[in-house]
Structure 1
């Protein structure tokens, strides 16, 4: 027996799978020895099978009993198996010892399968970790030195050679290359990156060498945040699982109480023999144990979480997989969520006698000296044109910018600002500017030699997939789609009309968004919020389900949200809703099947139609079926 204990401790250091395999081998050898009449050898091998297969369950069950004063399923199974062995020795019906070992084996197999379901989520973490690099080539006194990622600091400059993984998030200082970002953002086509662009840890550099500067701590990189979110998903227990676990303790006490009554009363009330009574009581302990019920939820939800992670949807816990299946209304932030959050030139209206290129050249010549986002958008739009930087540039914050270009005075800015440098506004430009502003666009006036030569419309661009994503959500039966934004009413309604939302609330502060989410929850009960900024964090925390944009999202938004869209793809919200509904359906099916099968086995035991091996197979078989049913969610 001491030898068996040491053996079990060795297996315990490995995996549940190893314990189940070794237990099965010992059981087979014991059964062969028993049938060959080698009783002494059989009675040596079979106890080893008990210890190897049941050591971990017995340890956990006793720990729960001693520390928490609670009975659990692990201890019930061990008691039933030991009872079968004791009855077999007492009656010299040694096959009962084999029956008890079969119970231990199937219970061990069930535990191994449940562990396998949980490890499927671990694989997503390991695959993410494989994208990281342990070191980076940092420039020290003009030379590249290999430094651990953990030792990097803000402002460090690192070199990334062609074909290497980007070691941490950074901004490009020098170089031009194409990066394969599919593992991080889901983009199937390599993206061209040049000076000023942000690159992400775990993306694969193409043919160009890059010099980067670290603009945020390595532990805050997108990839590290993703890994932390996936790890967190495995540690939190959803409400349904918490209820089942509380139910288990009370249920176990009831089963033990009923089992004791069944072991004592039938000889007096039904004139059963003591052997039959104890045998039926042991079978009752086996078939009434809620193993299948306990396995009905977590393997399913963990499989759903793993499936979501593969598709770029990170659930922080199983509770949110349940919650999103019940969502009736979804609120969206505008900037950075329904839109890209990046200003772009969307229209140029030249005055009579001027071309769009001429207007854009003048504006770019001035704005190339500006750091304003509007200026950056104008310069970006003019990158394919031939122009030179203006001289004598002077900026007027919030109003505009002036300078000299091709020996002529030029200015760019608001209508009121430009009006100071010209004699009159062409009526056709005034009308065009009014229409553009009514459409929610920001209008910049351009003047040259005291003459207005055109207007440039600039806007935050709607995400290409936004309208399609909202249409998909409505098709799924989401009752209300709402947009919450701090932007002005005109711009908000323009974006809302483009993407198809039902309600618009504009000019909101963070506390207003929070208040509106509370109001929506009173009306629709379960409400989701989708956002990316720090100002969205209170609403994300208040919402029944908070959804953050993985790339555009701020650290605060990512930490506050319950679900993260890794690649910022809005259509993944509909995928998450469908996955949540499918998970909820499978959980209900599993619970119904588990309860029905337990009741059937209890009834069959009272009718005397169940032997211990059949009870073991029925009980553990139902547990295995429930776990396998949950694993269906691993399929897309």
Structure 2
């Protein structure tokens, strides 16, 4: 039973794609049968292609006509296709039936692409929903009980064990731990949390067990707000889309009305006979159908997509290739986008009588017992410890760690913690450390017990998220291309954000932002610059990526939600590919404009020629199909 169910679900979800495929297949078989002289088979296959490929367009066109009293391109396509088929049967020019089927196939493919976009939106929402557990470990009368998230009530107490995801927003009432909030807030380093601090659903608990109290309904959690924001941003039609829909309806209305008038008035005005009149009216419907106009755009965009894919730039649809060429402002996330997203030892400062290697090895020997991200960065930088390992290690939450290394007491921690044991810090180190902290780096001090039962400073270690090497040059090239505004938006603290922004050449910085705050910044930019790109990698970037005119995600470090939500994915995480994407978008715009001029020119010439009686139906079809082929080949230039 499982496989039939899966097959039924698949066919239901991809009905539009299957319809386009079957329409194309039947069209090919009908064409083949016609050229073999098998008229009977052709008359069976081609009508089937009409029905399968045109059903949805006919339904939508008639629905729009009946309910909204409007004509659209879907109905125009059906009328033109049936007109071509009827004329082909009337004059026994059966190739015209092929022309009508081609019109239907083009629109069927368009419907399949639209269906794909809708399914992508649904996958984005499902990916977001999977970020939080379905159940929570609730304390009930002293016993732990697993309850579905939607059954949690304000006041419930929840237990979260080390390494587990936080199931819902809450306040810590017992315990201490570090939480990785990068996915929600964008902070590069895990944040230490203790009693009284708020935690967010979807964040990852570190090494400590926590007891939380639910202080808001699960439906009001930050991650649920992110889900709603993504839904709203992705389903909201941009002004350009509304303009295209309005243009299509007006175009369809004009062509249909003109076709009807052309089928009625000429005998009374110019004395045409009725056969000539009907012939010219149907020819008009064929030559005026927007095939060449559609071919002016899609082949160009699809070629650009293929070109981008070869360069490691994944465009999810053609509209985004067009939009990226119009971008006037770009907002960059910091952590994981302009930076690598992984904390590393950026600098080691050794006190006199010690080397940088000594500082790292002493600290790493002590930190080898810790799972804290800063500890892991120090251990990685130290390399082989040669068997050195701290004993009697004790961690003091939020301050540091103590223990014995090589029979000497060692302290590693923040300045306040170390000063409890060391009376005075070396002045030359204090000034240098202060400078590093102004750059937004986290500094841990290393002290060791001397022979006089006193402590002396061994050195200090600066920890920082590392800038991508191409970040600064990418920002500079974007400015050279005429991008009017480049900003940074991040959930990290202001000082760290300012430091990184200065290093890459970004002047405007928005720091300490939650996901909805980033969304507000994007909306503000759109009011000023209309077409705005957002570059990010985390769950916290998803609403802003969805709201932006063009959302760009990092392919390697990007979260699943960011990858699903974004319109463009940089597969190798190379920021300089943004420059290539914009150039490709601008070139595609230029080609599309050229093709539109050619397509409209052909349509106008054919319509005029038909009206004057200089274009018969075969010439009209040749001109119509020829213009379609011409603009299609023009669009393929982007494959280079």
TM-score by structure 1 length?
A: 0.69
The within-5 A match list for 1:335-354 is 335-354=335-354
For residues 545 and 61 of structure 2, the distance between their equivalents in structure 1, rounded to whole angstroms, comes to 40
Asked if 1 retains the 8 angstrom alpha-carbon contact of 2:57 and 2:107, the reply is no
Aligned-partner SS, 1:320: helix
Aligned-partner SS, 1:326: coil
Asked if 2 retains the 8 angstrom alpha-carbon contact of 1:114 and 1:299, the reply is no
Aligned-partner SS, 1:447: strand
Q: Report the aligned-residue RMSD.
A: 3.7
How far the C-alpha of 1:120 sits from its partner, in A, is: 11
Verify: 1:477 aligned to 2:482, yes or no: yes
Asked if 2 retains the 8 angstrom alpha-carbon contact of 1:444 and 1:456, the reply is yes
C-alpha spacing 1:629/1:17, structure 2 compared with 1 (3 Å): farther
Asked if 2 retains the 8 angstrom alpha-carbon contact of 1:61 and 1:75, the reply is no
For residues 258 and 451 of structure 1, the distance between their equivalents in structure 2, rounded to whole angstroms, comes to 93
* Paired positions, count: 495
Verify: 1:356 aligned to 2:361, yes or no: no
C-alpha spacing 1:531/1:259, structure 2 compared with 1 (3 Å): closer
How far the C-alpha of 1:365 sits from its partner, in A, is: 0.8
C-alpha spacing 1:549/1:597, structure 2 compared with 1 (3 Å): same
C-alpha spacing 1:388/1:103, structure 2 compared with 1 (3 Å): same
Alpha-carbon displacement from aligned partner over 1:400-428 (angstroms, at most 9, x marks no partner): 11111111111111122112223432232
Partner of residue 513, structure 1: 518
- Which deviates the most, 45-54 or 308-317? 45-54
C-alpha spacing 1:468/1:407, structure 2 compared with 1 (3 Å): same
Alpha-carbon displacement from aligned partner over 1:198-252 (angstroms, at most 9, x marks no partner): xxxxxxxxxxxxxxxxxxxxxxxxxxxxxxxxxxxxx999876765565445544
Partner of residue 215, structure 1: none
Partner of residue 429, structure 1: 429
C-alpha spacing 1:241/1:544, structure 2 compared with 1 (3 Å): closer
Verify: 1:79 aligned to 2:72, yes or no: no
For residues 581 and 57 of structure 1, the distance between their equivalents in structure 2, rounded to whole angstroms, comes to 33
Asked if 2 retains the 8 angstrom alpha-carbon contact of 1:357 and 1:385, the reply is no
- Which deviates the most, 493-502 or 536-545? 536-545
Q: What is the aligned counterpart of 1:105 among 98, 111, 121?
A: 98
C-alpha spacing 1:316/1:25, structure 2 compared with 1 (3 Å): closer
Partner of residue 504, structure 2: 499
Asked if 2 retains the 8 angstrom alpha-carbon contact of 1:238 and 1:318, the reply is no
Aligned-partner SS, 1:547: strand
Partner of residue 24, structure 1: 31
For residues 332 and 625 of structure 2, the distance between their equivalents in structure 1, rounded to whole angstroms, comes to 46
How far the C-alpha of 1:614 sits from its partner, in A, is: 0.4
Aligned-partner SS, 1:371: coil
Partner of residue 567, structure 1: 572
For residues 350 and 28 of structure 1, the distance between their equivalents in structure 2, rounded to whole angstroms, comes to 85
The within-5 A match list for 1:149-168 is none
C-alpha spacing 1:75/1:402, structure 2 compared with 1 (3 Å): same
C-alpha spacing 1:239/1:485, structure 2 compared with 1 (3 Å): closer
Asked if 1 retains the 8 angstrom alpha-carbon contact of 2:81 and 2:101, the reply is no
Aligned-partner SS, 2:572: coil
Verify: 1:623 aligned to 2:628, yes or no: yes
Verify: 1:447 aligned to 2:447, yes or no: yes
Asked if 2 retains the 8 angstrom alpha-carbon contact of 1:445 and 1:455, the reply is yes
Asked if 1 retains the 8 angstrom alpha-carbon contact of 2:46 and 2:101, the reply is no
For residues 537 and 50 of structure 1, the distance between their equivalents in structure 2, rounded to whole angstroms, comes to 45
TM-score by structure 2 length?
A: 0.68
Partner of residue 209, structure 2: none
How far the C-alpha of 1:72 sits from its partner, in A, is: 2.4
Aligned-partner SS, 1:72: helix
Aligned-partner SS, 1:469: helix
For residues 411 and 356 of structure 2, the distance between their equivalents in structure 1, rounded to whole angstroms, comes to 16
For residues 382 and 503 of structure 1, the distance between their equivalents in structure 2, rounded to whole angstroms, comes to 37
Aligned-partner SS, 1:22: helix
For residues 466 and 340 of structure 2, the distance between their equivalents in structure 1, rounded to whole angstroms, comes to 6
For residues 488 and 529 of structure 1, the distance between their equivalents in structure 2, rounded to whole angstroms, comes to 20
